[in-house]
Amino acid sequence: MQTIKVKYFTEEIEKLAYIDGVSDWIDLRAAETVTLRQGDFKLIPLGVAIALPPGYEAHVVPRSSTFKNYGLLQVNSCGVIDGSYCGDEDMWYMPVYATRDTVVTKNDRICQFRIMENQPKLVFEQVAHLEGKNRGGFGTTGKQ
């Protein structure tokens, strides 16, 4: 089991917890109460800075209930925090767009993260043809 160093910017949010056997995603909480009007953009502070292990990155995404409960969309779809953000002031944020007037209260669970191993080094080789079956080039049907 890995030990991860976490700095909390407030004592008013619950501490991070890995719940074994339930989910390998870890909830993140709003570090302050935020009021948004429809159409607003905001970086919601999550109240933590984390020193990721070498060779790892964190993927931050909304919880499944975030849109239903708050009408918020995470504007970068999936936030990727690489290991270089490990300084004392590198607090994590969730960039959101409000689709309706809403309030996120301090300590509300609004997003989640997991730690992933960095992609291995790759070399790209240009070819004239690929050998796989042609599926049409777009989604599951290949046609719009």
User: What CATH number does the domain containing 69 carry?
Assistant: 2.70.40.10
Residue tagged 């690489």 (tokens): 82
Binning pLDDT at 50, 70 and 90, where does residue 1 land? confident
* Residue 143 in domain: no
* Residue 133 in domain: no
Q: Where are the beta strands (DSSP E) in the chain?
A: 5-8, 26-29, 34-36, 41-45, 48-51, 56-62, 72-74, 79-81, 93-98, 102-104, 109-117
- The domain of 110 spans 26-117
19-58: per-residue pLDDT in tens? 777 788 999 999 999 999 999 999 999 999 999 999 999 9
* Residue 132 in domain: no
Is pLDDT larger for residue 14 or for residue 23? 14
* Residue 104 in domain: yes
Measured CA to CA, the distance from residue 3 to residue 34 in angstroms comes to 31
Domain count, the chain: 1
* Residue 83 in domain: yes
Residue tagged 């570090």 (tokens): 31
* Residue 122 in domain: no
Residue 136 has what pLDDT?
A: 72
* Residue 100 in domain: yes
* Residue 49 in domain: yes
Q: Catalytic residue numbers?
A: 82
